[in-house]
A and B are shown apart, each in its own frame.
Chain A
């Protein structure tokens, strides 16, 4: 993509291992030996089927794992500092602070009985020392920047009152509220209508400038649209990674080739990446 790519990566994952630990059962390896790095200004696409471990690998960065799943090995560095062994309190300070998340389904990801703004303000006040009033002002500003309509940019709207695209814009505002170094977006367009998908991708592309970003998707065409590097995961392992243009035009691995056959890529997309 555009802009210079810094040499020291913002995020470096080395030899990541993730296990499912069922109650009373033997642990089962879900992710094995994944190493990735993302530099500032770079958008890394992690591509794979559901169950390939792509979301787990990215969520493991902030130890955001479901019950019964745990980090079994490897290391994670953020801005040169090791973070996988941080205690829960310090990790909490990173979540929503230096690491922002965008989730797949913006309707279920917003609390149905809380306004969009109240979640945004909770995040802002958690990470920046602001009083309620300036936090609200910042929340409105963030929402307006994501082009939510109205004088207050829907800050007092409940999630069900917004459209799918508006909710995802609000989700992106939430992820970026505290100016994170790392943005992790998990299938951010999958739950949306095709026309809205393009708008959200454009918005994401615009917001990734200057920070490290990870885009998790099963859809190579989405990755092709905004990523400058692509990593392909299959059955918990990294099977291929490299510059987007190279992976898309000259795939080395059979699995990548089969993914490519099934994706509908606009010729321009491959050329641009």
Chain B
């Protein structure tokens, strides 16, 4: 109960602080009236636009109006096309989440077995080669890799479409690009955790009761190795829900990152504010979910249980 209250307090603080900073930043950033009325507008036309949208009031006044609307989840309408700002964001977010979930699935599917394999032993030419490759990949800039993949598979070999969001073939390059900059980090963590588990006393106990190598890997080592990796998985997911701005731009992926670029460059305040509002909530929910998963997986976080006493 207390935890829940602390969460709620942190969340409220985070949301208010972010939205306040954002409000003043975008208001200071430029004059949207020029955007709306066009570069050739007369001063009279500009004034009319300012009045219509309330830009003529003082900043504090505008902030209070904005805040009172935000409480009712009303972010106004897009300055670009008059659509409700929040609707625009909610329409594009599924595409971003889809990309995030697919990339995370691929990331897990690759990182867990590879990390477990690497963590089992130090030596061997294959392992050394893989470690070197992963070291290089760890520093590899994701969007440069995406461009190179597009060049090779879409432009050069013409195997896959280079842009778009239509069908599995068009998903491959974006998902692979995102997963390949998530994977090296996760592989490293799984590897380190696996190796640590193999050196642990509880694995020695498993050996001492005659357990075979496969059961040791899956029932003794991996549960602990993956438990330690959940924090990294959560952080990687939180990073993705803030919008994969560059990747979505490269692949013309109609997600929140792509919308963010367009709205920011067009000074479309209502949409930018709605995007950030949703992102803050998404990051918060991701962190919450990560903690919930950790609680579920780690009996030590669940507090003292019913079984047995604490003395004796």
Residues in chain A within 8 A of chain B (CB atoms) = 23, 62, 64, 67, 92-97, 101, 103, 105, 108-115, 119, 122-123, 126-127, 148-150, 152, 154-158, 160-163, 165-166, 174, 177
Contacts and interface: CB of A to CB of B under 8 A. Distances in A.
B312 A160 contact: no
A127 B211 CA distance: 10
Contacts of B209: 95-96, 101, 119, 122-123, 126, 174, 177
B208 A64 contact: yes
A147 to B, nearest CB: 8
A92 B210 CA distance: 4
From A64, A94, A111, name the one whose CB has the most chain B CB atoms within 10 angstroms: A111
Contacts of A161: 299, 304-305, 307-308, 310
Interface string B290-312: 00000001111000110111111
B310 A110 contact: no
Contacts of A156: 307
Contacts, number: 115
A127 B210 CA distance: 8
A110 B202 contact: yes
A111 B309 contact: no
A113 B305 contact: no
A113 B298 contact: yes
Lowest 8 CB-CB distances: which A-B pairs, in order? A96-B209, A154-B308, A157-B307, A123-B209, A96-B210, A157-B308, A108-B201, A111-B202
Interface in B166-213: 199-202, 204-212
A108 B202 contact: yes
Contacts of B312: 148-149, 162-163, 165-166
Interface of B: 122-123, 199-202, 204-212, 215, 219-220, 223-224, 227, 297-300, 304-305, 307-312
A179 B299 CA distance: 30
B220 A111 contact: yes
Contacts of A112: 202, 224, 298-300
A149 B309 CA distance: 7
B210 A113 contact: no
B266 to A, nearest CB: 51
A170 to B, nearest CB: 10
B215 A160 contact: no
Contacts of A94: 210
Nearest to B301: A160
A119 B220 CA distance: 10
A62 B211 CA distance: 13
A103 B204 contact: yes
Nearest to A108: B201
Given A109-B201, A149-B312, A93 B210 contact: yes
Nearest to A174: B209
B196 to A, nearest CB: 12
26 contacts: A92-B212, A96-B208, A96-B210, A103-B208, A105-B201, A108-B201, A110-B202, A110-B205, A112-B298, A113-B297, A113-B298, A114-B223, A115-B307, A119-B209, A123-B209, A123-B211, A126-B210, A126-B211, A154-B307, A157-B305, A157-B307, A157-B308, A158-B299, A158-B305, A163-B309, A174-B209
